[in-house]
Amino acid sequence: MDKHCPVFILECAATFICENFLSGTLPLETICKKVRDHIVTEYKELPIEDLQDIAEAFLRVLSEANVDEAEVVLRNYAFERVTFRRSGKERNWESMLFDPMKGLKSFKLDLKLFRRNFQAFLFRYKQQKRTGMPESWELKNFKTNDFLMALGSIEFSPFDILDQA
């Protein structure tokens, strides 16, 4: 609770938000609020606007690229971010010295960087048309970490709109 959320978790949360927004009927802000409520159980307060800005940036990139299978692309991005570091090295979830879930001491939202990284992934994805993601992988099936599994298991209902009031 005294550290900021790691960037890869924000990216995974944003992909989860986008997936639910595209496949559901709830407003983006409602979905962001519920996901943010989960994130702040482990990390410092995070403005809903930050999470919403990241999700909107991802949706814009998908729209500009005319992606047909947005949910699959988003799931692939979440898989890549959970499995690999930005450098391309595999994320070590069993390490006793370094915990990937360890929070950041300082954090400043750089929306351009989030957007650029997602665009780069989308470009690679379109070029390769294959990834290392298992066929039916979802964030809620990520058994290595309970926090991420719980994030992927968040369910939404029309009554969530009433909770915002």
* C-alpha of 76 from chain center: 11
1 CB-near residues (< 8 Å, 6+ apart): 42, 43, 44
Q: Is residue 2 part of a domain?
A: no
When divided into structural domains, the chain yields a total of: 1
Q: Is residue 1 part of a domain?
A: no
133-160, pLDDT tens digit by residue? 888 889 998 888 899 999 999 998 878 7
Supply the pTM of this predicted model. Answer: 0.92
Q: Is residue 127 part of a domain?
A: yes
Amino acid at 42: E
Cα 147 to Cα 68, 88, 101, 117, 155: the distances in Å are 30, 23, 9, 23, 15
77-134, pLDDT tens digit by residue? 999 999 999 888 888 888 878 888 898 898 898 999 999 999 999 999 888 866 678 8
- Domain residues for the domain of 105 are 7-164
77 CB-near residues (< 8 Å, 6+ apart): 11, 15, 118, 121, 122, 125
Nearest to 47 by CA among 31, 58, 34, 36: 36
19-73, pLDDT tens digit by residue? 999 998 899 999 999 999 999 999 999 999 999 999 999 999 999 999 989 999 9
